[in-house]
Structure 1
Amino acid sequence: MFVRLLTRRQIGDRMGELGELYGHTSSSEPHEPGFLDPSDRAGSAAFRRRLAGHMRRPGFELLVAEAVRPSGATVLTACAYGFPVRGTDPWWQGLDGYLPEALFRTALSGKLLAVAGVLVERRVRTQDPTREWNLARRLQKRLLGDHTGALGVTLVDRGDVDTYRALLAWGWSALPAEGGGASRFAPHRLLVLG
C-alpha cells in the first residue's frame, strides 16, 4: 500500500472512486466490493458535493492510499483531506463562541489545518488504531507534515460516537473545555491533533 497526494485534476478524474470509497467506509456494516445500496448512493453523492466545495479552498490537499492487486490494477483504499482555516473562516460556524483564545490565535496566525475527512475501512478503525503504522494515523501525519508547525483540527457531530472514539484512538484530543464547559452546547465536538 502506498500513499500519495492527488492534484485537483486527478481528484476530479477519480471523483466516482472517491464517492465509492465513502460509501464503503462510512457505513457501520461491511460491504461486498462494488456494492452500494441506495442509501449509500445518496450519501456518496452528498460526499462528492462536499468534497467539490472543499476543493475550491486555498491550500486544499487530498492524500490517497492505494494498493496494487495481483492483476496489476491499482485500488483506492483510503484517503484524508484538509485545508488551512483562519479565525474568521466560515468553517467555524456554530463554534466561534466556544473556541479557546489560544486556538483562535493559532487560527489567526494561519497555523490551523482543518482535517475535513479521513476515510478508511472499518477494520482500520477497530484493529490497532493506536499503532503508528495504522493507515489512518499515517494519512493524518503526512497531511499535517506538509504544513510545518500546523495544528490539526476537526469537527465531529455530537451524535457520531463511533467517529469520535476512532479519532481519539488515532491521537486526536478533545479540548479541555469538552469536559463540561459551555462547549457541550455546540453542535459539534472540536478535536485537535498536533
Structure 2
Amino acid sequence: MDTVRLRRLNRWQAEGLREDLADLYVESSAAAPGEEFHDRQKFLHRLANDVQLPGFDMLVAEARSLAGCVFGFPVPRDGSWWQGFDGPMPQNLEQLTASGHVFAILETLVHPHKHAHGLARRLQERLLADHQASLGVTLVDQSDRSACAAFKNWGWQEAGQIHRLPGPTALRVLVLPLGERTAEHPDGLAHNDQTQRPE
C-alpha cells in the first residue's frame, strides 16, 4: 500500500495543478459515457471561479500520484451564502455563521483506489480542523444520490434545501457539526470555544 501524504495548496498552486485535478475529477466521478469531456470542462470552469473566493483553501492527498483533494472557503459572516435557503433558517446555523465558524466544502474528490478507503473523510476533517471550523457545510444536487449517501456515511446530516441561480434546481444542504454534543446541543451545532477564530 502506498503512503498517502496530505499537502495544502494555495490558489496559485491549485491553478497550476488544474489539469491533474480535472483528470482526478473525471476518474472519481460516474460520468455517463461520452460526457467525460463536458463534465471535465464544467469542473475546470467551477475551479477557476472557486479559487477566486476569499479564503479559498485546498488540501490534496498524494501517493505515487494525486489520490484525492478537497477544497472550500470560509462562509462569509454576513449570511449571504445562505440566500435561497428554503424555509426559516435554523438559529444555530445563523449564530455559527455570524461567529465565523462555518467552512463550506465545495468539492471532494477521491481516486477509486483501494488505498483511498476513508481518505475523503480524512481530507474533509483535516481541512475543517485547519480552519478551526465548528461546522462544515456543503451543497449536493438533489439528483446525486450517490454523493448524498457518501456524505451521510462520512457523518454529514441533511439540514434543508437551498435554491441557487441559475436554474430552478434545489440543492440539499448537508452539515457536519464539529461542536461538542451536550444536553443543550445534542446535534453538536454549537460554537466550540476550542476553535475560536482570531478576529
Task: Please report the TM-score for the alignment, with normalisation by the length of structure 1.
Answer: 0.77
Q: How does 1:150-165 map to 2 (within 5 A)?
A: 150-165=134-149
The answer to whether structure 1 residue 171 and structure 2 residue 162 are counterparts is no
Partner of 1:145: 129
Question: How is 1:175-190 mapped onto 2 (pairs within 5 angstroms)?
Answer: 175=159, 178=160, 183=161, 187-190=170-173
Letter in 2 for 1:139: L
| CA deviation vs aligned residue, 1:101-130 (integer Å, no higher than 9, x gap) | 210121122111001110113467xx96xx
1:138-188 deviation digits (Å, cap 9, x = unpaired)? 10111011111431001111111110000000111123xx5xxxx599811
Structure 2 residue ranges without an equivalent (≥5)? 164-168, 179-199
Residue 82 in 1 paired to residue 65 in 2? no
Which has a greater percent of helix? 1
Shift, 1:18, TM fit: 0.6
**Superposition TM-score, scaled by structure 2 size:** 0.75
Equivalences, count: 168
Residue type matched to 1:147 in 2? H
Instruction: Name segments (4+ residues, structure 1) moved above 6 Å.
Output: none
Structure 1 gap segments, 5+ residues each: 30-36, 69-74, 129-133
Q: Which residue of the other structure, out of 70, 85, 97, is the alignment partner of 1:107?
A: 97
Kept after mapping to 2: 8 A contact 1:82/1:116 = yes
Q: Distance in 2 between matches of 1:89 and 1:16?
A: 33
Residue in structure 2 matching 1:12, options 12, 15, 21: 15
**How far off is 1:43 after superposition?**
0.8
Secondary structure in 2 aligned to 1:27? coil
- What is the CA–CA distance in structure 2 between the aligned matches of 1:98 and 1:167, rounded to whole Å? 24
Match of 1:48 in 2: 44
Shift of 1:17: 0.6
Does residue 1:24 correspond to 2:27, yes or no?
yes
**For 1:123 and 1:162, how far apart are their aligned partners in 2?**
17
Quote the Cα distance in structure 2 between the aligned partners of 1:184 and 1:171: 20
Partner of 1:32: none
